[in-house]
Amino acid sequence: MFIDTHAHLFFPNFNGEVDEVINRARNAGVNYIIVPATDIASSSKTVEMAQKYDCIFAAVGVHPHDTKEWDDSLLTILSELATNEKVIAIGEIGLDYYYDFSPKDIQKQAFEAQINLAVELNKPIIVHNRESNLDIMNMIEKYRDKNVRAQFHCFAGSISDAKELTEQGHFISFTGNITHAKADNIRKVMSSVDLKNLLLETDSPFMTPTPHRGKRNEPAFIPIIADKIAEAHQTSIEEVAKITTQNAIEFFNLGKKEN
CATH of the domain at 54: 3.20.20.140
Secondary structure E strands in 24-143: 30-36, 56-60, 87-96, 125-130
CA distance 70 to 107: 8
Report if residue 107 sits inside a domain: yes
Please, how many CA atoms are within 13 Å of residue 223, restricted to the half-sphere of its CB? 12
Give the per-residue pLDDT at 256: 60
**What amino acid is encoded at 92 in this protein?**
E
Measure the CA–CA gap between 96 and 102, rounded to whole angstroms: 8
User: Is 34 part of any domain?
Assistant: yes
Indicate whether 256 belongs to any domain.
Answer: no
Q: Which domain holds residue 193?
A: 2-207+233-249
Q: Is residue 228 part of a domain?
A: no
Is there a domain that residue 254 lies in? no
Q: Which pLDDT does position 255 carry in this prediction?
A: 80
**148 part of a folded domain:** yes
Q: What is the pLDDT of residue 259?
A: 44
Distances in Å between the Cα of 183 and the Cα atoms of 96, 151, 197, 198 are 21, 21, 20, 18
Question: 29-84 pLDDT, tens per residue?
Answer: 999 999 999 999 999 999 999 999 999 999 999 999 999 999 999 999 999 999 99
Give the integer Cα–Cα distance in Å for 71 and 223: 40
Secondary structure element (H or E) that encloses residue 158, with its range: none
Rounded Cα distance, 171 and 193, in Å: 9
In terms of Cβ atoms closer than 10 Å to its own Cβ (0-12, 13-18, 19+), residue 25 is buried
- Per-residue pLDDT reduced to its tens digit, 171-185: 999 999 999 999 999
Residue of 167, 164, 160, 78 whose CA lies nearest to 125: 78
| Regions of the chain where pLDDT drops below 70 | 256-259
In-domain check, residue 126: yes
Provide the number of structural domains found in the chain. Answer: 1
Q: Classify residue 97: in a domain, yes or no.
A: yes
